[in-house]
A = this chain, B = another copy of it.
């Protein structure tokens, strides 16, 4: 383990200096002030809408430091915000980051966290422009706010779904929850037999990566906004079931979700089977997949499928009175419960 320095050793401003070194000098054509003044300052172009989102991760709620590295945590914290920007058809721009840090968090751990943040910022073309660091008597909190911009003609809301629209999703679902299951299981194995524990997770690489380093779907968002008329869109942070409900409630429509169309990959299926669980439940209620859920007409979908194969049709928008149902392969219909991850519910309603 490399040298660990208590934050109290270098103080708040020493810590900020360290962070600034890692973030580097944040600058682009429009940014006038990044980290170095009371606020970040940036110009707005007249033909763009500005976006602003915020998302926090709390230790013991969103992450477990026994199996989440600080770098993964940093990556994931900013990606969850970028995903919100992608869901509007926008591109991310400037982030401010608040850290609440208990005594156990060392300078090096904060540096690692920022490395993860900056790694994602570089990959997805946004900049850290400010923040606030404070001590905490409780658990670690990372709270990020992110601005973005979007062409006013291209912006997509969750409220625009039309009866008859196809419901589509990017990538595959449930993998993030499968990754979490593996990590929790490894932790338990370790706690039960610390002496003889030997980690054996190489075979689960793809689901672990999906949980620890999810990718926001700016790629598909870009294809959509440049070429396709999408009627509504939302990102899947809390599980498919919950997001379908959000989208339908905001649009005043119902939905049919075709269970056998829900895209899941074989690695996730294998993990669910190992736990004698259903991968479809992971997809519906697991969350943190950060894929995009969107609706569009059949003719727009025909255009889309020529541009990407990474999108699956999983249902159709129907009139609101018909409700939100999941249709089994057998033809059986079942009301789809709304419950994704709700931080304040002690138990999922499934």
Give Cα A132–Cα B40 distance, bound, in whole angstroms: 21
Q: Does A329 contact B (CB under 8 A)?
A: no
Judge whether A52 and B145 touch: CB under 8 Å: yes
Q: With A137-B59, A137-B60 given, is the CB distance from A40 to B53 under 8 Å?
A: yes
A102 to B136 CA separation, bound complex (whole angstroms): 13
Report which residue of A98, A100, A102 has the largest number of chain B beta carbons within 10 angstroms of its beta carbon.
A100
> In the complex, how many angstroms separate the beta carbon of A103 from the nearest chain B beta carbon?
9
A342 touches B12 (CB 8 A): yes
Tell me, yes or no, whether A124 is within 8 Å of chain B by CB.
Answer: no
Complex interface bits, A26-47 against B, C-beta within 8 A gives 1, otherwise 0: 0000001100111111111110
Cβ contact within 8 Å between A134 and B61: yes
Which of chain B's residues have a CB closer than 8 A to the CB of A141?
100, 136, 138, 141, 143
CA distance A140 to B344 in the complex (A): 14
| A325 interface hit (Cβ, 8 Å) | no
Which residues of chain B are near A133, meaning CB under 8 Å? 343
Q: Which residue of B lies closest to A9 (CB)?
A: B344
Q: Are B342 and A11 in contact (CB under 8 A)?
A: yes
Residues of chain B contacted by A137 (CB below 8 angstroms): 58-61, 138-139
A54 partner residues in chain B, CB cutoff 8 A: 96-98, 130-132, 143, 145
Could you tell me if B132 and A143 are in contact, using CB atoms closer than 8 angstroms? yes
Specify which of A49, A137, A155, A344 lies most central, judged by the most chain B CB atoms within 10 Å of its CB: A344
Task: Tell me if A158 is interfacial: C-beta within 8 Å of chain B.
Answer: yes
Which residue of chain B has its CB nearest to the CB of A101? B344
A251–B163 Cα distance when bound, in Å, is 60
Contact A7 to B344, CB < 8 A, known contacts A52-B147, A138-B138, A157-B37: yes
Q: Which residues of B contact A155 (CB under 8 A)?
A: 41
Q: Counting CB contacts under 8 A, is A185 at the interface?
A: no
Contact with B along A80-118 (1 / 0, CB 8 A): 000011011010001011101110000000000000000
Of all chain B residues, which has the CB nearest A135? B343
With A39-B85, A43-B49 given, name 14 new contacts (CB 8 A).
Answer: A7-B344, A15-B344, A37-B157, A38-B235, A40-B52, A41-B51, A52-B52, A52-B130, A54-B97, A54-B145, A58-B100, A58-B134, A135-B343, A141-B143
Q: Can you give 25 contacting A-B residue pairs, CB < 8 Å? A: A11-B344, A11-B345, A12-B342, A15-B344, A37-B88, A37-B158, A38-B88, A39-B52, A39-B90, A40-B52, A40-B53, A41-B49, A41-B50, A41-B88, A41-B155, A50-B50, A53-B130, A56-B100, A56-B132, A59-B137, A61-B134, A61-B137, A62-B134, A135-B343, A137-B138
Question: Which residues from chain A sit less than 8 Å from chain B, CB to CB?
Answer: 7-8, 10-13, 15, 32-33, 36-46, 48-56, 58-62, 84-85, 87-88, 90, 94, 96-98, 100-102, 129-139, 141, 143, 145, 147-148, 150, 155, 157-159, 234-235, 250, 342-346
